[in-house]
Structure formats: C-alpha cells, structure tokens
Amino acid sequence: AQSVAQPEDQVNVAEGNPLTVKCTYSVSGNPYLFWYVQYPNRGLQFLLKYITGDNLVKGSYGFEAEFNKSQTSFHLKKPSALVSDSALYFCAVRGSGGSYIPTFGRGTSLIVHP
Amino acid sequence: EAGVTQFPSHSVIEKGQTVTLRCDPISGHDNLYWYRRVMGKEIKFLLHFVKESKQDESGMPNNRFLAERTGGTYSTLKVQPAELEDSGVYFCASSQVSGGAGEQYFGPGTRLTVT
C-alpha cells in the first residue's frame, strides 16, 4: 500500500523568507511524486513532479522540491515566499509499477505573512 | 483550452435528499477521475473512467453513490439518499493517459454540505 504524510497542518512564514512544506511517502517500487496547490475557491493546480533523474525538481511559480530516497521525502521549497503563495498544498505519490491512482496527503496550509 | 469544470460549485441539501454533481473534463481526455476530500482529511479516490467504462470504482463508499459517463464525455456523480458523512469537497480530474507519470488536471470541486 502507498501512503503520504504531510506532518504539518499549517506552515507560517514571513514574506521574503524561505519556505519548506514537508512530505514523506511510502510506496512499492520507484515513486512518482507530485505537488499540487489549491488556491481559495480554485481547483488543484499541478506544481511539479519527480519521475527520475535529478533529485531537485523545479516547478511553477518558483517552487522546487527535493527528492531524498533514503529519507523517503519530497519536501517542497521556495527561496523567497510571497503573500500570494498562501494556499493549501498537497503532496501525492504513486508507484511506478503499482496502482496508477495517486495517494494524496492531508494537505498543508501555507500562510505567508506580509 | 478550457480546464476541467464542475457544477455546481456549492450544494446544500438535507439528509435523505438526492444530489447530482457534474464534471466536464478537458476535451480529448479519455480518463476521468472522481475524488473526495472531507474537511481536514486526505483527498480520497472514488473512481476512474476510461471513456465511458468504469476502470476502477474501488473507492466508492457504498451503493448510495452512482457515477456515470454516458458517451465518454461529461460525468455525473449522484448521491441518493445523502447522509451527513457525505459532506465534503468532490473533485473531478482528467488526464490523457492513465499510466506513466502524467499528472491529472483537477476541477475546482463541488462543496457538498448535507444538513
């Protein structure tokens, strides 16, 4: 069975500071990892994904995520947070050889303070 | 290109009533998925259509939920009769392929409140 843990319900950061939203996973086989963002009253938007290759993946809106196989983590990062980054962030995983249906985490609410 | 659309955006119904949610996927996407998120919880998979066929409905909670995708275009999800625990946000997503590493494209969701 595959699972995702987002240990923080909420992350608070000041504008201009770096941000990290944590995600750890469990899956059989090699993982496909995804980050989605949900802005208020909007659907989930795809941010980035890790399939293979470079452990540092760059995505939309200046976000990046680092795949760490030994720690089974895929933390989302941004060097300098914007107030407009405030949203709900979901991590998802699926195994390369298993079910094609992704398993999502509970979501982390990111609040960027001016 | 239009994204995934869902209707209605919000629905408030009483326990025992019926509600039908609609999803229009991105044109050309054969794969359509329904998910549900109960407040503060994970986004849970409900079912997956490939064109008009149900590929996987293992996530459907019970037989009060009925999903259809006649003609392989839009899909409906009917809840009859609704119970309090059915409250949540119902997301629809679509994709061109089901396998591989392709991402899914999500709609804005329908917020269902059962009182």
Task: For residue B81, say if its preceding peptide bond is cis, omega within 30 degrees of 0.
Answer: yes
Q: Which of A8, A34, A100 to mutate to test the interface with B (most CBs of B within 10 A)?
A: A100
Q: Which of B6, B9, B56 sits opposite A101 (nearest CB)?
A: B56
Measured CA to CA, the distance from residue A68 to residue B70 in angstroms comes to 43
Using CA atoms, how far residue B76 sits from A60, B58, B70, B73, B113, in Å, is 31, 17, 9, 10, 17
Residue A40's pLDDT band (cuts 50, 70, 90): confident
Using CA atoms, how far residue A32 sits from A42, B16, B72, in Å, is 24, 40, 27
Residue B100's pLDDT band (cuts 50, 70, 90): low
Once rounded to an integer, what is the mean pLDDT over residues B21-34?
94
Q: Which residues of B touch A (CB under 8 A)?
A: 3-4, 6, 9, 33, 35, 37, 40-45, 48, 56, 59, 91, 93, 98-99, 101, 103-109
Q: Is the pLDDT score of A67 beyond 80? A: yes
What residues of B are in contact with residue A45 (Cβ under 8 Å)?
Answer: 106
Once rounded to an integer, what is the mean pLDDT over residues A61-78?
96
Comparing A25 with A94, the larger pLDDT belongs to A25
Tens of pLDDT, residue by residue over B58-81, are 999 999 999 999 888 999 999 999
Please, what is the average pLDDT of chain B?
92
State whether A106 and B106 contact (CB < 8 Å).
no
Please, what is the average pLDDT of chain A?
93
Tens of pLDDT, residue by residue over B43-55, are 999 999 999 999 9
Q: Which of B30, B39, B42 to mutate to test the interface with A (most CBs of A within 10 A)?
A: B42
Q: Is the pLDDT score of A42 beyond 90? A: no
State whether B91 and A44 contact (CB < 8 Å).
yes
Alpha helix (H) residue ranges in chain B:
none
